[in-house]
Amino acid sequence: MDGKLQNANVEQISNFSWYRDVCKRFFDFVFSLIGIVVLAVPMLIVAIVIKIDSPKEQILFRQKRVGKNNHEFTIYKFRSMRQDAPHEMATKNFENPEAYITPVGKFIRKASLDEFPQLFNVFKGEMSIVGPRPLIPNEGKVLELRDEYGANKILPGITGLAQVHGRDEITDENKAAYDGKYALNMSLLLDITIICRTFFDVLQSRGIREGK
């Protein structure tokens, strides 16, 4: 992308937007609260199954991630790996992720059930339902690309435009470009479209790839 055009886009993302700065936060609050209530029993069942599978290990996985304006926060997920798995590395960079993923973890990752606790991150205002996926602080290359495209100016999301355009199967450059495109063109219609596409992608386990 042309440098001047890119800078103009980043400035545009920084400007006030009624949908992004007011309406979207209201929708996130309401829908995350509804999601927490509706999914309370399924989340409890997942938690019990994880505890039965590995009684000496924790149910939740907590990790520092980079949020809006590069501020760090703690993300919540259902634990899908052994606790001795490397915590400061993205799973896509593991040489042999299958060595760490638990039997229950394999299922909940494939069905994306491990993402449910992030509804609490959305409720707290640390994340959005839709936005760029939050990165680990040491993923410097992708964070720099996101800065160039303006994607770090908005809240990270449970799902996003990059997730419905290949997820783990596309390059970091393309992910950052999709995230920047979303930040620039954010709207209610686009969010609904991404959520619907995510639902069908999850059903088909599309775009999921573990390790290198």
Stated as kind and residue range, the H or E segment containing 63 is strand 60-66
Domain with 99, as residue range(s), is: 3-203
Domain annotation covers residue 81 = yes
Domain annotation covers residue 40 = yes
Residue 65 carries which side chain, given as an amino acid letter? R
* Amino acid 141: pLDDT: 87
Domain annotation covers residue 133 = yes
Q: What is the mean pLDDT of residues 88-117?
A: 83
> Cβ distance 30 to 122 under 8 Å?
no
Task: Spell out the residues 6+ positions from residue 191 whose beta carbon is closer than 8 angstroms to its own.
Answer: 24, 27, 129, 130
Domain annotation covers residue 21 = yes
Tell me 135's DSSP state: B
* Amino acid 4: pLDDT: 45
C-alpha to C-alpha distance for 133 and 3, rounded to whole angstroms: 24
Domain annotation covers residue 212 = no
* Amino acid 140: pLDDT: 86
Domain annotation covers residue 60 = yes
Domain annotation covers residue 184 = yes
List, in sequence order, every residue forming a beta bridge with 60; answer none if it has no partner. 78
* Amino acid 16: pLDDT: 73
- Total number of domains in the chain: 1
Is residue 3 over pLDDT 60? Answer: no
- Mean pLDDT (the chain, rounded): 87
Q: What is the mean pLDDT of residues 28-34?
A: 97
pLDDT tens digits, one per residue of 4-13:
445 546 667 7
Taking CA atoms, 144 is separated from 79, 133, 150, 165, 182, in Å, by 28, 14, 10, 21, 17
Of 43-47, 136-140, 144-148, 182-186, which has the strongest mean pLDDT?
43-47
Domain annotation covers residue 185 = yes
